[in-house]
Structure 1
Amino acid sequence: MTVHFSETNEDLSPFFDPIFEAQYVQHFQADKPKKQKKQLQFVMKDDADQILAAASCQQLYQMLKIEDLAVDPALQHQKLGSQLLDYIKDYASSHNLLTLILTTRSYQAKDFYLKQGFSIYGQLADVPFEGVTTYYFVYKV
């Protein structure tokens, strides 16, 4: 057999889904729950409708991954990030989510997330490039 490799933009879920479904059924002896995946955006604005802080998240089953979270640089150190994270934690709790996860880099907000009750469950040096450490955080709702 000759094999060929290529990059693709095609949807590969018809290949992956039956494989992962069979693994789930074999392990749990039950049908895999329907994939519950959705993109969520949380925004904090002022009275003039200007964005002060925002977070882009992805919910998968009972987990919420905070992909991006930022506060306007001119407004940092005014507890806006803490307020936004509290809002996200409340959302997670009221929607029966169990876990929040996120990553941050050594030049970003490691200490901030520790103060917010997140725990580091992993770190990789020189990721995504030399001289930077990426930290992996978890928060149990």
Structure 2
Amino acid sequence: MANLRRADSTELELYLNTIFTQQFTENHLVYEDKVGEVLAIGAYEGEHLIGGIMMRRRYDHLAITKLAIDRAYRGQRIGTQLIRAAERFARDRHIINITLSTRSYQAMGFYEKCGYQIYGTLPDLPFAGVTTTYFVKRLLN
């Protein structure tokens, strides 16, 4: 029986990556240059940063990890411009899906207006009384 113990995270990640690489090779999947690309797009008023979007590519998927606009600049379609920029970025790289999550006190209606569909919700995540909602948009190239 295996002996389980705490491992060095860097060493374990490298080891697990070799297993995943082997699985890709065995299944004839091409993934070079499709992992880990990060993009940050800022929204500026002159030289003043007023919001932005952070994204990470993983194979044929783009995850929007953060999007926020300064309260004073909301309602000016800046968020929509950022979402559209993310979608252009994804289409240029032949990405199939964009996903993101938001919390119940954030911008659920905004993402629905942008054409994102709910694929899951988890109540009491990350805190009691807060629901995290997961969205996806499938891009048709």
* Alignment deviations for residues 4-57 of structure 1 (CA, whole Å, 9 cap, x no partner): 42264424233112322333344x3x255325221110111122x111220111
Matched, 1:13 2:13: yes
Counterpart for residue 51 of structure 1: 49
Which whole-Å CA distance do the structure 1 matches of 2:7 and 2:125 have between them? 23
Counterpart for residue 101 of structure 2: 103
Q: Is the 8 A contact 1:127 1:134 kept in 2?
A: yes
Q: CA deviation at 1:2?
A: 6.8
Which whole-Å CA distance do the structure 1 matches of 2:125 and 2:134 have between them? 12
TM-score by length of 2: 0.86
Q: Which amino acid in the other structure matches residue 6 of structure 2?
A: S
Q: Which amino acid in the other structure matches residue 21 of structure 2?
A: E
Structure 1 spans left out of the alignment, 5+ residues: none
RMSD of aligned residue pairs (Cα, Å): 1.9
Matched, 1:66 2:61: no
Task: Give the match's secondary structure for 1:5.
Answer: coil
Q: Which amino acid in the other structure matches residue 40 of structure 1?
A: L
Counterpart for residue 37 of structure 1: 36
* Alignment deviations for residues 69-101 of structure 1 (CA, whole Å, 9 cap, x no partner): 000111111111111111111221122211111
Which whole-Å CA distance do the structure 2 matches of 1:17 and 1:138 have between them? 26
Structure 2 spans left out of the alignment, 5+ residues: none
TM-score by length of 1: 0.86
